Amino acid sequence: MTLDEQDKAIIAELQRDGRTPYAAIAEAVGLSETAVRKRVMRLTDSGVMQIVAVTDPTQLGFARQAMIGIRVSGPLEPVAQALAALPEVDYVVITAGSFDVLAEVVCESDAHLLALVSDRIRGISGVRETDTLMYLKLQQQTYAWGVR
């Protein structure tokens, strides 16, 4: 699907506040309310955009985040699935490069992170090697790719 400038403007508006009324969006982008509503429906139905609640783990007592780089022996997908099943894991991607799988984890403390990596991640069958990249500072996080 291709986005025109008005689609992008609508997304940008909903990026600021996902509950912005259609009428307010309409005024901001120069379309009728109905046109905006149809476009939003089209964007969400097609899977291009989704309007969801996003939480901030640091505000919830999860002070320790890290990316775990993993080297695997054998098939990758079972390992990725096992990682995704862990409650502390919020992001899993299979990659080609110096790691086979990347997993982002959210922990309450160093002890929690240690237990997670040492006991549970390294216990997954097929996990050969892990590299823990502890987060020092989250510099940027964008939810609306391809829009700005």
Partner DNA sequence: AGTGAAACGACCGTAGA
Partner DNA sequence: TCTACGGTCGTTTCACT
Per CB under 8 A, residues contacting its own copies are 1-3, 11, 14-19, 46-57, 59-62, 66-67, 69, 76-77, 80-81, 83-84, 87, 89-99, 102, 106, 131-148
- The CA-atom distances, in angstroms, between 119 and each of 86, 113, 115, 122 are 12, 10, 5, 6
- Token representation of residue 53: 């609640």
35 binds, among its own copies, DNA, none (CB under 5 to 8 A by kind): DNA
In the complex, minimum distance from the CB of residue 35 to its own copies, in angstroms, rounded to a whole number: 17
Helix, strand or coil, per DSSP, at residue 126: coil
- The CA-atom distances, in angstroms, between 52 and each of 30, 41, 79, 93, 114 are 25, 14, 28, 21, 31
In the complex, minimum distance from the CB of residue 60 to DNA, in angstroms, rounded to a whole number: 15
48 binds, among DNA, its own copies, none (CB under 5 to 8 A by kind): its own copies
24 binds, among its own copies, DNA, none (CB under 5 to 8 A by kind): DNA
DSSP 117: I
Instruction: Please report, as residue ranges, which positions from 42 to 81 form the binding site for DNA (by CB under 7 A).
Output: 42
Determine which helix (DSSP H) or strand (DSSP E) holds 101, and give its type and residue range.
strand 101-107
**Contact set with DNA (CB under 7 A):** 6, 19, 21-24, 31-35, 37-39, 42
